[in-house]
Amino acid sequence: MRLWKIITIFVANMRYRFFLLSILVFIATVPTFSQNDKDEHINPEDLEVDMDNPTFEPKVRVGKALLGKDSVQYVELNNVYVFPAPIFKNAEERAAYNRLVYNVKKVLPIAKEVNRIIIETYEYLQTLPNKKAKDEHMKRVEVSIKKEYTPRMKKLTYAQGKLLIKLVYRECNSSAYGAIKAFLGPIRAGFYQAFAALFGASLTKKYDPNGVDRLTERIVLQVESGEL
């Protein structure tokens, strides 16, 4: 019994480390931001989730297109998605749906941030002269991640962390495992995948918008368009 309690406490303490190791190990802080930029930036996980107002502001872009010899002004708006109203069999289903909406609104901005930073990191690596310089940079990145992102990920619940893995796949069109493998190599990727498996998660998990993740995709589309 004593050993079981020790294991239980260990697992509880390691849950948030799982987020760090499995998701954020491949997020690099590209050294192009000034200290003032960092001070003004508000992390998505620190923002209050407003269930009654859009997470992303609807975008309106006005431009001009050349038609013959004339220029014609146009207005580009967000996509509008029309879905049938969700039907719930009981209060538990309604609560589960609301919880999913809350979690998507919470972590979708983080997934988009991940995608942006991965792109910036890749572009920065291309400026380095050789493999040795790139490897040394990625080692510094890993240390930086542990320092910066550990307290950030502690603010997410376990369910939000697992959802973030899927939304990272959606935004990056690659699994967390694939991103880790690309940046840190197959050995590190295998280690993090094995570690994630201890907590019932998989870094190779794909996002299936037409199958098991159909409801999540519907919510994501509505959040992106400013409907939720």
Q: What is the pLDDT of residue 1?
A: 44
Per-residue pLDDT averaged across 110-123, rounded? Answer: 80
CA dist 203 to 144, 147, 180, 188, 189, Å? 21, 22, 9, 12, 9
Nearest to 125 by CA among 34, 33, 28, 35: 28
pTM greater than 0.85: no
Q: What is the mean pLDDT of the chain?
A: 75
Contact between residue 65 and residue 74 where contact means Cβ atoms under 8 Å apart: yes
Does pLDDT of 39 surpass 90?
Answer: no
209-212 long-range contacts, Cβ below 8 Å, gap at least 24? Answer: 209/170
Q: Which residues contact 105 (CB under 8 A, 6 or more apart)?
A: 49, 50, 51, 55, 223, 228
Q: How many CB atoms lie within 10 A of CB 93?
A: 12
The per-residue pLDDT for range 171-204, each reduced to its tens digit, is 877 776 776 777 667 877 777 777 666 666 677 7
Q: What is the pLDDT of residue 219?
A: 95
Angle at 98 between CA 94 and CA 102, to 5 degrees: 170
**Helix (H) / strand (E) containing 77:** strand 70-77
- Comparing 193 with 49, which gets the higher pLDDT? 49
Burial of 73 (0-12, 13-18, 19+ CB in 10 A): exposed
- Comparing 222 with 168, which gets the higher pLDDT? 222
Q: What is the pLDDT of residue 171?
A: 86
Q: What is the pLDDT of residue 217?
A: 95
Q: What is the pLDDT of residue 41?
A: 66
Report the range of poorest mean pLDDT among 84-88, 122-126, 147-151, 215-219: 147-151
SS3 (DSSP) at 67: strand
Q: What is the pLDDT of residue 36?
A: 44
